[in-house]
Amino acid sequence: MKDNILKPLMLVILISLTIGLSANNQCKGDRSRTPKKIIQKLDTNKDGKLSKEEASKATRGPLSSSFISIDSNSDGYIDASELTAYHNSASRQRKSK
């Protein structure tokens, strides 16, 4: 009798743990998209900043289409501080709507 109740209970617990771990891993994936990591990924010449050409290789986000806006010091490159500032500004604008 105990086996009849224990097996389904264990199955439910196992499924719950699996779902919880999966959700936790998805959240960790979001942290990998920090400005520094984005630049490291796209920076083909490893100079620590993105040129317009390097930014054009981005498959997601506004890097290419908003390059001039993100490049706040107009030096022709995007560095981590400029990308962070742009991200923070965009986040504030979304929250104020």
Residues in the chain: 97
Comparing CA positions, the residue from 75, 33, 73, 36 lying closest to residue 52 is: 75
Q: CB burial class (10 A; 0-12, 13-18, 19+) of residue 34?
A: middle
**pTM above threshold 0.95:** no
Mean of per-residue pLDDT scores for the chain: 82
Give the H/E segment covering residue 78: strand 77-78
**For residue range 44-90, what is the model confidence (pLDDT) as tens digits?**
999 999 999 999 988 778 888 899 999 999 999 999 999 999 988 88
Which CATH entry fits the domain spanning 33-97: 1.10.238.10, 3.90.1150.10, 3.40.50.2000, 3.90.550.10? 1.10.238.10
Q: Where are the domains of the chain?
A: 1-31, 33-97
